[in-house]
Amino acid sequence: MIKSVKFLLALLFQGFCLYATAQTTEPTFKTDSIADKMLTYQLSNGAWPKQLIDKSVVSYKKPITPALMEIIKATDEMHATIDNSATTREINALVKAFKTTGNKSYLQAAEKGIDYLLKAQYKNGGWPQYYPDKSSYRAEITYNDNAIINVLNIMLDIVRQSNGFDVVNINYIAKADNAVKRGLDCILKTQIVQGDKLSIWAAQYDQNTLKPAKARNFEPASLSTSESVNIVKFLMRIDQPSLPVKQAIKNAVQWFDNAKIKGFKFEKMANGDKGLIADVNAVIWARFHDINTNKPIFGDRDNSIKDNVADISFERRNNYAWYGDWAVGLIQKDYPKWLKILGE
C-alpha cells in the first residue's frame, strides 16, 4: 500500500515538473532551409541582390560553403535590387515560411524588405531597378521583367491582407496604401499616348521626365508587350476602378488585339537557329514595338535597331525572348472576366 502511494506521488511530481518546464521554456519553431538561406543573403538595408559581388547569380539551391559565405558578406547595398524578382520573391517566400513555421525571424526579415521597398519608391510613384545604386539605367523607373508590378502586388496584398500578408504588422497598411496610390498614378502617367489614344507601356522610363528610355543596347525605348500584359493584370486587381483605370485597361487590350501577329511562332528551326515558323494556330506579339508605328523592332549589342529579327546577331536572336504569346490569356480570359465582374 505504501509503495503504491509513493509511486503515485512520484508520478504526480514528475507531471508537475514537466508542466513547470513547459511554462518556462521558450517555444521552439520549425525552420525552413530556403528561408534560412534568404536571411543569410539579406543585405543590411533589407533588400536582396540578384547576383553577388563576384557576378554569380543568387541561388538558394546552393549550399552555403565558407567560401560562398565570404562572398555573401562582401556583397554590399549597391547590389540591392528588384530586378529579376529579387527582394520581392524573398518577401513573398518569407511571409509564407512564417505562416508555416511561426518563426518570427522570417517575418522580421520580410518586414525589413518591405521597409526597403517603401524607401526606394520615387515621389512620382515609380521604383528604380536598383536602389541606392543610380548608375547607368539602374535609376530608371523599371517595369522591365515586372519589377515594379511585383512590388505593387505586394503592397496591394498588404492593404488587402491577402495572400498571406495578414501576418504583417498593421502599421504597414496605410504606408502600403499610399505606395499603391502613387504607383497607380505613375502607371497612368506613363501609358504611352499615340495621337489621341492610349496604347501600352515601355519597359523603362526616365525617372525625372517620365519619358520612355532605353536600357541595355539591345533594349531600345519602345512599347514593351510582356511587361504591359502584367501591368494590365495589376490594374484589373484594383477594386472599384476609376474611369482613368478602366480606360487604361480597355485601350491597352485594344492595342494588343490590333497588334497581334497570327499564323507564326518563334522557335528553333532545323538549322539550329531561331526564327519565325508558320503555324496556323499561333498568335504572338513581338517583345518590342516601335512607339510611333507599332511595328516590331529588334535591338543588338552594337546598339543598332533592326526591323527583322533575322538581321540581328545570332547570339542575340537565340538568347532573348523576341516574340511570345503573352497577351493571349489576357484577351481571351482575364479581360472578359474583368468586364463581367464590372457588369460591363
Coil, strand or helix at 32: coil
> CATH number of the domain at 29-185, out of 1.50.10.20, 3.30.1540.10, 3.40.50.300, 3.90.1150.10?
1.50.10.20
CATH class, domain 191-344, is: mainly alpha
Give me the pLDDT at residue 44, please. 98
Grid coordinates belonging to 129: 531597378
Establish how many alpha carbons lie within 13 A of residue 319's alpha carbon, considering only the half-sphere containing its beta carbon: 7
Give me the pLDDT at residue 12, please. 46
Give me the pLDDT at residue 30, please. 77
Give me the pLDDT at residue 13, please. 44
CB of 191 within 8 A of CB of 228? no
d(CA 321, CA 286): 9
Q: What is the DSSP string of 55-117?
A: SPBP-TTS---HHHHHHHHH--GGGBB-GGGTTHHHHHHHHHHHHHH--HHHHHHHHHHHHHH
The strand pairing partners of 274, in sequence order, are: 268
d(CA 50, CA 65): 19
Residue with cell 464590372: 342
Given 84, 103, 230, 251, which residue is catalytic? 84
Residue 154: exposure state from Cβ atoms within 10 A (0-12, 13-18, ≥19) = buried
Give the β-pairing of 323-324 and 274-286.
antiparallel
Nearest alpha carbon to residue 91 among 160, 41, 144, 19: 41
Determine whether 287 is an active site residue: no
Given 216, 292, 301, 303, which residue is catalytic? 216
Give me the pLDDT at residue 21, please. 40
Give me the pLDDT at residue 31, please. 83
Residue with cell 515594379: 148
CB of 253 within 8 A of CB of 232? yes
Coil, strand or helix at 152: helix
E strand spans, the chain:
141-142, 193-194, 197-198, 204-205, 223-224, 261-268, 274-286, 288-289, 298-299, 305-306, 323-324
- Over residues 236-252, the pLDDT tens digits come to 999 999 999 999 999 99
Amino acid at 46: G
Phi, psi for 302 (deg, rounded to 5): -90, 10
Grid coordinates belonging to 338: 474583368
Give me the pLDDT at residue 174, please. 98
Which residues, 6+ apart, have CB-to-CB distance to 262 below 8 Å? 282, 283
The strand pairing partners of 284, in sequence order, are: 261
Residues of the chain with CATH 1.50.10.20: 29-185, 191-344
Give me the pLDDT at residue 145, please. 95
- Over residues 88-112, the pLDDT tens digits come to 999 999 999 999 999 999 999 999 9
Determine whether 317 is an active site residue: no
Give me the pLDDT at residue 96, please. 97
Phi, psi for 12 (deg, rounded to 5): -65, -45
pLDDT tens over the chain, length 344 residues:
444 444 444 444 444 444 444 444 444 567 899 999 999 999 999 999 999 999 999 999 999 999 999 999 999 999 999 999 999 999 999 999 999 999 999 999 999 999 999 999 999 999 999 999 999 999 999 999 999 999 999 999 999 999 999 999 999 999 999 999 999 999 999 999 999 999 999 999 999 999 999 999 999 999 999 999 999 999 999 999 999 999 999 999 999 999 999 999 999 999 999 999 999 999 999 999 999 999 999 999 999 999 999 999 999 999 999 999 999 999 999 999 999 999 98
Give me the pLDDT at residue 16, please. 45
- Over residues 121-151, the pLDDT tens digits come to 999 999 999 999 999 999 999 999 999 999 9
Amino acid at 308: N
d(CA 85, CA 280): 34
Give me the pLDDT at residue 29, please. 60
d(CA 75, CA 220): 30
Which residues, 6+ apart, have CB-to-CB distance to 285 below 8 Å? 225, 256, 259, 260, 261, 323, 324, 325, 326, 327
Residue with cell 547576383: 51
Amino acid at 261: I
C-alpha Rg value of the chain to the nearest Å = 26
